Structure 1
């Protein structure tokens, strides 16, 4: 019995020790768990704080980015407006430049037209090309126009004045020819012969020279100088055998014999 009690006591001690150990172990495990939980919470809090800070910074950065985008958009719009204004100025400048160029062209054309009224120009009369002053050309053409209207007396005056004013003119030979014709029409045969002969003497190769010689013969016939007319016609046949005037001269020589 004593041994049983002793054993039972020993068992009780063992159980008490076991219970005490288990209580201490449980208490130790609870502390570790709490510390682990605290550490997890601390890490979570730190993570949440970092996340909150990052979100705050991200929000600030986004706000700054939006402000920058708005500023950039405003600058772009301002540049567009400036570009449109500059394009408008360029178009206006182009129009003004075109107007100035047109004005300069018109002015230049006007100046050239005015100068052309005074500057010599090339003209061609009776197959001859020469240079004549505008006033010279105008006066010759005016005298010729009077003759063509059959106004022989004014034409005689006009051509006489022309030859006095322009004695070295390229129009000299035709002016002598038409002056002689005007005088012939006025029956001023002697003066007509003087001018026809002056044409041949001054320019024997002129297109009108054969006609001028024939006109001299006509004047001699009108003055009843048949012998002189025949001689003039014979001279015409020798000097200008291929001319149309020579064909007429052949017929007239035959009639004068």
Structure 2
């Protein structure tokens, strides 16, 4: 009897504990699922982060490719600019060379004309000197040396000093047969200094004071060059046409004809 009572009591106790055990297993399963979901979410977050990083890298690559294209275009423009700059330097050098050669030719021509005018000797002495007047030949030699000194300054490119020397020559020897030449080289010196307005004024003074000089055609040509440099192409054309009309057989007229064709 006592044994049966104990067995019944044990069965009651076991029955009472079954729901608790069942509840215990349900909680564990829930926690397991939560943990599984948490792990899955973590993996999703990692995958999402990896995907975002990949998208970021792809975006950066696309942007970089776009920049590379721009850089290539810029480099191409730089190369073209360098080529143009090089060509400009070549052209500028050619212009300077031609300009110098032109000045050298005029210098040489001036030398030859001056020697023809003076007989390749110091300027001819006046009648007083021929009669034996003391100091006359010396004065004539000083005149020739003064012009030569000013002309040498021009030839070496010292234009400011050449202008001063030629102006001093004109003050000292206003009636010299080389006065028109001196006035011409004053104007040419101003052109070389790119003072074109003053160059034009100097050559106009030559035309006014020495209208019959052999230097008039050259003075007109120099004026036209200065007018062109100032952007006054219409006046330059008129000056060149005047030169060709008045002095058609002069060397300056040949140059003027070529310039007129380029001004069309």
Normalised TM-score (structure 2): 0.47
Larger Cα-atom Rg: 1
Normalised TM-score (structure 1): 0.48
